[in-house]
Amino acid sequence: MARKFLYVVAVLIVLAIAATFAYRIWGMQLLRQAMIPGARFEPQAALPKDSYARPDMWLARPDRPNNPASWLPAGMKVEQPGDAAVFAIHPTSYLDRSRWNALLDNKEANDRAALFLRGQASAFNAAGLIWAPRYRQATFGAFLTASADAQGALDLAYRDVEAAFDQFLAEASDRPIILTGHSQGALHLTRLLRDRVAGQPVAKRIVAAYVVGWPVSKSADLPRMGLSECTRADQTGCILSWQSFAEPADPALILDTFDATTGFTGASRAGTAMICTNPLTGMASGDAPPAANLGSLVPSSDFATATLQTGMVGARCGGRGILLIGEPPAALGSSQYVLPGNNYHVFDYSLFWANIRADAARRLAAFK
């Protein structure tokens, strides 16, 4: 029996090694075949001008019942929201390859987006009132190709976000503004900063912009985004950005794509440094031990609930600007949501949830 058991273990090890080797050679090809829509992108008309005046066009807004952005982990006391108005753009929650853009009434995508808002936008619910729009987001497969179809899908999604931002500004009155996005949401936020904030009066009202889970070149993007990089913990009118990796980290999948693109200035992003804010310190440099972590969200297996755990990971910026968190956190186990290269992209907010909450409060106080 012991010999049979050892034989089975040996076979499993060989299969695991073979699977890893196969992914390295054919992984992206297989992923593209599974996720990129087979049909051509079909342009769609802009939404009616007053669409975002309707409450049902928002996943989160101050008057929405069961607002996912109002969620708090067990044991946390509900606080009176601060003076800020928060515009939150959720990450990709549409994974279907049947079409390039999600329908606004796609329940699965909307439910998953609401789940993301619970773990991300909720970090800002003590700083102010939160608006988070539905939008015809590009499907996940749009990020696996540089085709014109993918760009068309992203442009369509951005136009919705831009229209929602206009309505947000009308409803936010003269409140200080916090902008936050993750992944696809952060990509749209970079464009929003370039197109609608840079050089505009609204720029003076920005407390901070949290452009998380998307690379921002310091030289090829930042000069056209209207705000500076946050280099101090109490700085306002600035941009925070990070991408989380456990060690050993391999950011090649991100850097290879990033280096092949052109920045907002028209210059190549190849080889340029990226903004990396340490969310434990609120600054662009310096190491922070796990003891500096005020609380990470540890999700349940179905991601429906989460508990707050202090001291789970430390953080430091390394390389060209990736956030290194040390060894994979044991509390998260061997999560199926960790991407190749030890990329903790899905956990960019939840790993530092309590520190982000404190960061927003500190910058709002400094702004006022």
Bridge-based pairing state of the strands 228-229 and 316-318: unpaired
Which tops the pLDDT comparison, 253 or 59? 59
| Rounded distance between C-alpha atoms, residue 256 and residue 253, angstroms | 6
Mind listing the pLDDT tens digit for each residue in 111-122?
Answer: 999 999 999 999
Percent residues over pLDDT 70 in the chain: 89
At residue 319, does pLDDT exceed 70?
yes
At residue 90, does pLDDT exceed 60?
yes
Average pLDDT, the chain: 89
What DSSP string describes 125-174? TTTEEEEEE---PBPGGGGG---HHHHHHHHHHHHHHHHHHHHHHHHHTT
Bridge-based pairing state of the strands 306-309 and 296-299: antiparallel
Banded model confidence at residue 258, pLDDT cuts 50, 70, 90: very high
At residue 300, does pLDDT exceed 90?
no
Domain map (residue ranges) of the chain: 38-367
At residue 34, does pLDDT exceed 80?
no
**Whose CA is closest to 124, among 366, 363, 367, 368?**
363
Q: What integer is the mean pLDDT of 194-223?
A: 98
Mind listing the pLDDT tens digit for each residue in 348-363?
Answer: 999 999 999 999 999 9
Mind listing the pLDDT tens digit for each residue in 154-204?
Answer: 999 999 999 999 999 999 999 999 999 999 999 999 999 999 999 999 999
Mind listing the pLDDT tens digit for each residue in 260-284?
Answer: 999 999 999 999 999 999 999 999 8
At residue 42, does pLDDT exceed 60?
yes
Taken as a whole, the chain contains a residue count of: 368
Residue 237, token pair as written in the block: 């009118």
